[in-house]
């Protein structure tokens, strides 16, 4: 019997689908330092973002036939090395796109109306300084009619663009691999196609009122002091992609100088211990890497993983 270790957990639906197909599934969490030894008892490992599968693990577990990542990015897996060893590597690139796009707008709407700070101040002072707080948070802005710049117009970027277009924003985008996309915006059951042709990276930086990033992490930040200086004054920026895509110290500097009005971060350079300068800055809207963490996305991720595993072993 093929044995699967879902080290970061899977949905009930995924587990049931795999077990009904004849697989044995364990959802016991094995600590990273003990993983190599424990994996000798399994044919498949499924991870999210907590567990890493590096060369050492791959070399220590010659029985591994498949590594699965519930989510999009696979920077916690040495993918090419695994494939070179004949191990199948799968992920679920489409399942969480809508959830991440909605979180981007949760940050954007919240920041535009000062909700993170308002929600902190109201319980403390709402009964004694109501009029003062009303005045403090009375200079919000509307997103409708503004320009959203999307850096990376893949699946998640497109899901984000769909929401932006739906609320009346203008969308511009840059992507080194994509020249144009058609976003199908659903309005009361009617589909309205909107064509977007990508433009130069610097042009997006210069023309956007808000910027959201949807690219994989790399060796160095994509947004730093130089890039912030190209932006309009008072821009809002959101990163629900990967920690390290934005230089956080440059971000703090841009917020303190007023170049940026605010930022929304779901991912951080030093997860799971983000820098205190980031956590304590009242111009940053914060969430703890929950972009794909909706019930609907988890169900889609689980079922997509199950189907890919079943198909792989059937073939």
Looking at the predicted structure, is the pLDDT value of residue 28 above 90?
yes
pLDDT band at 219 (very low <50, low <70, confident <90, very high): confident
Q: Quick one: tokens of 29?
A: 């969490």
pTM: 0.89
- Residue 93, pLDDT score: 86
Mean of pLDDT values over 276-295: 96
Confidence of residue 217 (pLDDT cuts 50, 70, 90): confident
120 carries an active-site annotation = no
- Give the pLDDT of residue 66: 98
Flag whether pLDDT at 71 surpasses 90.
no
**pLDDT classification of 109: cutoffs 50, 70, 90:** very high
What is the mean predicted confidence (pLDDT) over 281-288? 97
Q: Which residues of 95-105 are buried (b: 16+ CB within 10 A; e: fewer)?
A: bbbbbbbbbbb
Please state, for a pLDDT cut of 70, what percent of the chain lies above it.
100
Cα→Cα distances 292→6, 72, 201, 299, Å: 17, 9, 26, 11
Residue 283's pLDDT is what? Answer: 97
* The CATH classification of domain 3-93+295-314, taken from the options 3.20.20.70, 3.40.50.150, 3.40.50.720, 1.10.3720.10: 3.40.50.720
Q: Which residue has the tokens 């709402």?
A: 126
pLDDT of 159 over the 90 cut: yes
Q: According to the model, what pLDDT value does residue 68 have? A: 97
Mean pLDDT along residues 20-44: 96
Report in angstroms the alpha-carbon separations of 77 from 45, 74, 273: 11, 5, 21
pLDDT of amino acid 73: 81
256 is catalytic: no
Catalytic member of 242, 248, 269, 304:
242
Mean of the per-residue pLDDT values of the chain: 96
More confident residue, 248 or 71: 248
Please pick, among 24, 38, 88, 271, the residue that the annotation labels catalytic.
Answer: 271
In 138-223, which residue ranges form alpha helices assigned H by DSSP?
155-166, 201-207
Which residue ranges does the chain devote to CATH 3.40.50.720? 3-93+295-314, 97-286
Q: Is the pLDDT of residue 149 over 90?
A: yes
Three-class DSSP category at 146: coil
pLDDT score, position 216: 86
Set 48, 69, 214, 289: catalytic member: 289
Instruction: Please give the pLDDT value at position 49.
Output: 85
Residue 256 has pLDDT above 90, yes or no: yes
Name the more confident of 50 and 90. Answer: 90
Q: If you average pLDDT over residues 173-195, what whole number do you get?
A: 96
**CA dihedral for 29, 31, 32, 38, sign (positive or negative):** negative
Q: Considering only CA atoms, which of 174, 176, 179 is closest in space to residue 151?
A: 174
CATH superfamily of the domain spanning 97-286? NAD(P)-binding Rossmann-like Domain (3.40.50.720)
**262 burial class (0-12, 13-18, 19+ CB within 10 angstroms)?**
buried
Our answer to whether residue 242 is catalytic in this structure is: yes
Question: Is the model's pLDDT at 227 over the cut of 90?
Answer: yes
Query: How far is 273 from 168, CA to CA, in rounded Å?
Result: 37
Among the residues of the chain, which ranges form H helices?
12-20, 35-38, 55-60, 79-84, 97-112, 115-125, 130-136, 155-166, 201-207, 225-230, 248-257, 276-279, 295-314
- 194 within 8 A of 180, measured Cβ to Cβ: no
């Amino acid at each position: 019997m093929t044995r699967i270790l879902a080290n970061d957990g899977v949905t009930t639906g995924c587990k049931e689908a795999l077990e009904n197909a004849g697989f044995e599934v364990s959802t016991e969490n094995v600590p990273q330092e003990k993983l190599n030894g424990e994996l000798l008892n399994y044919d498949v490992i499924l991870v999210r973002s907590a567990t890493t599968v590096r060369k050492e693990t791959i070399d220590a577990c010659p029985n591994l036939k498949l590594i699965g990542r519930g989510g999009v990015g696979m920077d916690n897996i040495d993918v090419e090395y695994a494939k070179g060893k004949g191990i199948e590597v799968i992920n679920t690139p489409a399942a969480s796109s809508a959830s991440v796009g909605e979180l981007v707008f949760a940050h954007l709407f919240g920041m535009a109306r000062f909700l993170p700070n308002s929600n902190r101040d109201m319980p403390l002072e709402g009964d004694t300084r109501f009029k003062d707080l009303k005045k403090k948070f009375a200079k919000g802005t509307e997103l409708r009619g503004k320009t959203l710049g999307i850096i990376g117009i893949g699946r998640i970027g497109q899901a984000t663009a769909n929401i932006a277009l739906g609320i009346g924003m203008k969308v511009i985008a840059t992507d080194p691999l994509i020249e144009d996309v058609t976003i199908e915006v659903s309005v009361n059951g009617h589909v309205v196609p909107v064509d977007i042709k990508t433009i130069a990276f610097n042009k997006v930086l210069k023309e956007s009122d808000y910027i959201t990033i949807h690219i994989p992490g790399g060796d160095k930040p994509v947004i730093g002091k130089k890039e912030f200086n190209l932006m309009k004054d008072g821009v809002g920026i959101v990163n629900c992609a990967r920690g390290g895509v934005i230089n956080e110290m440059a971000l703090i500097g841009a917020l303190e100088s007023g170049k940026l009005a605010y930022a929304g971060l779901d991912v951080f350079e030093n997860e799971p211990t983000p820098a205190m300068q980031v956590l304590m800055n009242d111009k940053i809207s914060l969430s703890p890497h929950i972009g794909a963490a909706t019930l609907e996305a988890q169900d889609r991720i689980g079922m997509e993983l199950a189907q890919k595993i079943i198909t792989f072993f059937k073939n």
